Amino acid sequence: MLVDGSLKGRTPLRISDLDPGSYQFEVRKQGRTSYRQSADLEANADYTMKVSLPLMVNSLRVLSQPDGVDIKLNGVPKGRTPLTLSQLPDGHYDVTGEIDGFEPQTLGVELKDGELQEVRFKFGTKPAEGR
């Protein structure tokens, strides 16, 4: 937990050395969304904060040339481009693009810290029949 930007320790935590005044509290944990709260503390008052930090989620935008490429995320079909996948936890993902007449393409992507990333697939023109 941080108080006015200074690390005070790990939760659960009891802090007893704060003078009366206004403070900014922040609770952080890797892979979770941070929680911030301001509080005005009075002399000899108890202040209790109970916090549940939700998992941090990421989004992935998948584009292609041409549009309409079938997309799989870690082997699971997700739809056709253009496509935005959200609520993805931190981690590594294999994004595969497939369209008739071409070899599938796979791109690896690392998502973390609540980010939005974009990947693009480009498929050329189909070769002429009989060549």
Tens digits of residue pLDDT in 18-50: 889 999 999 988 777 789 999 999 888 788 888
Per-residue confidence at 102, pLDDT binned at 50, 70, 90?
A: very high
Whether the upstream peptide bond of residue 127 has omega within 30° of 0, thus cis, is no
Taking 70 as the threshold, does the pLDDT of residue 126 lie above it? no
The domains of the chain, with CATH numbers, are 2-41 (no CATH), 57-122 (2.60.40.10)
DSSP letter assigned to residue 32: B
For residue 127, what pLDDT is reported? 53
Q: What is the CA radius of gyration of the chain?
A: 24
pLDDT, tens digit (0-9, with 9 covering 90-100), for 52-96: 888 778 899 999 999 999 999 999 999 999 999 998 988 999 999
Distance CA 113, CA 28 (A): 12
First to last CA, the chain: 67
Distance CA 49, CA 107 (A): 43
For residue 125, what pLDDT is reported? 65
Distance CA 51, CA 130 (A): 66
For residue 130, what pLDDT is reported? 45
Distance CA 59, CA 69 (A): 19
For residue 96, what pLDDT is reported? 97
